[in-house]
């Protein structure tokens, strides 16, 4: 079984990027040291300019990083009202996203988020506690499915409600806060 890594921080950073893109349904899969994301962003009111707006938002998020080798990104409009994205986040990208997120949280007083970044962080911490290797996360609607493999090589697939993950994330955040006070 490959080396188990700390998933909480990388998944939180990726979640922050997916929040920016307003990614609704997606899969996240580790591939070597990278994380590959396939997902869709629903078009918003505004018609034909939607694909351009999404691509501009995506380009802006990577240009801000200052890294010319950022992520390999492919965006293509589909006949429906959604835009498909395929993203690859390297560990360098994840570090940059994490630093950017820390800077933003530092400016906002460090308030805990109940968004996608916190949900993915919670899944990461959940896997870290097992310990297990992430195989795949996929989000469809209001549920997430996590596929992971234990040290003994047994694969598990768990479907988790977003509301339950948010509650678990809040509990974990309070525990972290208590540890930081001591």
Q: How far is CA 79 from CA 4, 73, 174, in A?
A: 40, 20, 45
What pLDDT does residue 179 have? Answer: 64
**DSSP 8-state secondary structure symbol assigned to residue 47:** G
33 assigned to some structural domain: yes
164 assigned to some structural domain: yes
1 assigned to some structural domain: no
Its pTM surpasses 0.75 = no
Number of compact structural domains in the chain: 1
3 assigned to some structural domain: no
2 assigned to some structural domain: no
pLDDT in tens, 94-136: 999 888 877 876 655 444 456 888 899 999 988 988 889 999 9
24 assigned to some structural domain: yes
89 assigned to some structural domain: yes
Sequence-ordered list of residues with C-beta below 8 angstroms from that of 5, at least 6 positions apart, any chain: none
């Amino acid at each position: 079984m490959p080396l188990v890594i700390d998933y909480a921080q990388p998944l939180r950073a990726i979640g922050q990027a997916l929040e920016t893109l307003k990614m609704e349904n997606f899969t996240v899969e580790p591939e070597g040291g990278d994380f590959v994301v396939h997902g869709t962003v629903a078009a918003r009111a505004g018609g034909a300019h939607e694909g351009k707006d999404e691509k501009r938002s995506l380009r802006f998020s990577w240009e801000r990083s200052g890294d010319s080798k950022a992520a390999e990104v492919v965006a293509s409009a589909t006949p429906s009202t959604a835009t498909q994205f395929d993203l690859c986040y390297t560990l360098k990208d994840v570090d940059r996203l994490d630093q950017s997120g820390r800077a933003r949280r530092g400016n906002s007083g460090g308030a805990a988020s109940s968004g996608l970044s916190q949900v993915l962080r919670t899944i990461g911490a959940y896997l870290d506690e097992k310990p297990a290797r992430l195989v795949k996360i996929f989000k469809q609607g209001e549920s997430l499915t996590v596929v992971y493999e234990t040290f003994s090589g047994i694969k598990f697939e768990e479907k988790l409600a977003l509301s339950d993950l948010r509650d678990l994330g809040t509990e974990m955040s309070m525990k972290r806060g208590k540890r930081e006070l001591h």
